[in-house]
Amino acid sequence: MSALPKLLASTRMSLDKLAVLIVDDNAQSLDILVQVVSGFGVKTLVRCDSAADAQTQLAKAPYDLVLTDAQMPGMDGYSLVQWIRRDAMQQNRFIPVVVITGHTRQQDVLRARDCGANFTIAKPITPKVILERIFWIAKEDRMFVETGDYVGPDRRFKREGPPAGMKGRRSDDLDGEVGTATTPNLSQDQIDSLMKPGKVAI
């Protein structure tokens, strides 16, 4: 596992040096995404109208971010993310990937998570949400996990809250800031008692 560099909430970010790959088989959606991202100051933008085209581009050069549509003919966005995590050249295997989908059923969100995507964004997209997710990715400190059946950001972060200085996505997200303790620390005897195996009546 490797840690992403941690940024402080006060860190200022410039997006003009990012190299972003945008994948969507719908020409109109692709144009909208390109306009939104270029509006953030990104100067290096590569458009792909299929996952196969994206694979070709990812084999040529390193990128800082991939935005891909989920539903595409042939290889879909989920399969593209899985390919990036497992088979892309080393410099692109760990890049942040955001899946954009018109279907927000739980099974689709979980599928995006399980193939190794950093985030899922629901259509219709808004510049504010995309920019927030880019900043969130830059600020988060999730470990990158590589196991036999999963490669991607650590999935064990539900309700941990957003990175410091950022607003959460859900109303019940925990605060990203850790305050001072409100109760005394456990004594060593208390910790030891919690660790002892106990008998269970069956």
Q: What is the pLDDT of residue 171?
A: 56
Q: How much is the average pLDDT of 129-149? A: 86
Residue that wins the pLDDT comparison between 105 and 81? 81
Residue in the block written with tokens 């959606």? 29
- Place 20 in a pLDDT band, splitting at 50, 70 and 90: very high
CA of 127: how far to CAs of 3, 34, 39, 130, in Å?
Answer: 28, 11, 9, 5
Buried b (16+ CB within 10 A) or exposed e, 58-89: beeeebbbbbbbbebeeebbbebbbbbbeebe
Query: How many other C-beta atoms are found inside a 10 Å radius of the C-beta of residue 134?
Result: 23
User: Mean pLDDT throughout 134-150?
Assistant: 85
Q: Is 30 left (phi over 0), alpha (psi -120 to 50) or beta?
A: alpha
Question: Of the given ranges (39-53, 56-70, 102-116), which has the lowest mean pLDDT?
Answer: 102-116
What are the sequence ranges of the domains in the chain? 2-153
What CATH number belongs to 2-153?
Answer: 3.40.50.2300
- When pLDDT is averaged across residues 42-55 and rounded to a whole number, the result is 96
Stretch 9-22: mean pLDDT, rounded?
77
The predicted structure's pLDDT at residue 98:
96
Q: How far apart are CA 39 and CA 69, in angstroms?
A: 19
**H or E stretch including 114?**
helix 106-115
- pLDDT tops 50 at residue 7: no
Whole-model pTM? 0.72
